Amino acid sequence: MYRGRLERDLSLWVGKGLLAQETAGALLAEYDSRPASFSLGRVLMALAAVLLAAAILLVVASNWEAIPRLVRVGGILALIWLVHIAAARMLAHGATAAAGGLLVIGAMSFGGAISLVGQMYHLSGDEQTVMYLWFAIATISAILFRSGAVAVVAGFLSWASFAVYLENNDTHWIGFDPWMAPLMAVIVIGLVRYTGAERARHLAYLLLIGWLAWLYTLYEEIAVALAFAIGGMAAFVLTAVPLPRIASLVRSAGAAPAFYSFLVAAIGFLLLHIEIEDGWRLVVLGVATLAASVLAIALHGRDNGAVRYLAYTTFAAEMLYLASVTVGSILGTSSLFLFSGLVVALVAWMVIRLERRFSANAQGERA
């Protein structure tokens, strides 16, 4: 998809005389020489590693009663050492796909070893502690080998840890453990930046959103929903602020920060609609939702397709909802749309002014 767009842009620039044909061909050849982001071989290797790791965990779960304890423990420890030594040798020879598969098996085997030892010797502890230890070991492995595959494993383990907490505590907030989910999400984001496993960042962002949604279920108050809407929009606007440090950090993280911050805001507006069903507050909320959608399109709509389509969806859903609740009065619906149009026009005017100011400042800095 991107290659086709790049080829069209290069052809357009060559046609306008902005770029030589030889330069365009060299740029396209350089792009084609890069390693592909998708590799069927790597995907199949990862699937094979997951299946082998699942087989190991199932063997551990069977408890192997006929095998002596020391043999069982020695076998699982030997497996862990062997796969990590083999992974190191594979990395030294440039076989990153095979090394990643072995490291996945090693990370999963750690969990099996923890369960096996606790199972055989009846050690005190609970599932939550096992999940924390397993996540910590996977994190260390990802750092030592700079493995994106193990960073993905750590991302899934963070989800599993949060699920274990919710199940064991009947979704109630108890002690310090609830804070571990956002902490794990931050660690996973750090692993993503260190290992380059860009797609794994979605696991961390989705975990944060899931954690926030769980917070709302604990309280179900309008203040929490309002905090989601305001906080999400504040974070979203911050991703568009042309400050050097913030801008470089946002660019290095791709489209995810803007999309997920606006998603949090959209969830907040949805929850507010659940809390507010009629009256003047509903009108204000509707206009605010429409204005937020327009602002999202103005700030990131051109370069961020995910934000653009989410804003389109939010805007369209809000208009349909407002039309449905005011359908009893044509005059009321007309007045609502008129007021909404004026507010959206005002937001558009403000965004245009800001864009011109930012553009003028950027030109002044280049001069």
Rounded to whole angstroms, the Cα distance separating 39 from 43 reads 6
83-86: which pairs have CB atoms within 8 A and are 24 or more residues apart? 83/109, 84/141, 84/145
- Note whether 181 and 161 are within 8 A (CB): yes
Rounded to whole angstroms, the Cα distance separating 25 from 23 reads 5
Per-residue model confidence (pLDDT) at position 161: 92
Q: Would you say the C-alpha torsion 45, 47, 53, 56 has a positive or negative sign? A: negative
Per-residue model confidence (pLDDT) at position 118: 62
Strand ranges (DSSP E) for 141-275? none
- Note whether 117 and 133 are within 8 A (CB): no
Residue 316 is encoded by which pair of tokens? Answer: 């369209």
The kind and range of the H/E element at 331 are: helix 330-366
Rounded to whole angstroms, the Cα distance separating 123 from 75 reads 20
Per-residue model confidence (pLDDT) at position 38: 47
Give the predicted TM-score (pTM) of the model. Answer: 0.74
Question: Residue 276, Cβ neighbours under 10 Å: how many?
Answer: 17
b/e for 114-148, b at 16 or more Cβ within 10 A?
Answer: bbbbbeeeeeeeeebebbbebbebbbebbbebebb
Vertex 362 angle, CA 310 and 24, to 5°: 75
Per-residue model confidence (pLDDT) at position 117: 65
Alpha carbon separation from 138 to 120, 142, 176, 224 (Å, rounded): 23, 6, 22, 34
Q: For residue 203, what are the contacts with CB-CB under 8 A and spacing of at least 6?
A: 152, 155, 156, 158, 159, 188
The kind and range of the H/E element at 50 are: helix 40-61
**Mean pLDDT by groups of 10 residues along the chain of 367 residues:** 67 78 76 56 64 65 63 75 85 80 83 68 66 90 89 91 90 89 93 85 91 88 90 87 66 78 92 82 85 85 81 83 64 62 67 62 54
Using DSSP, state whether 124 is helix, strand or coil: coil
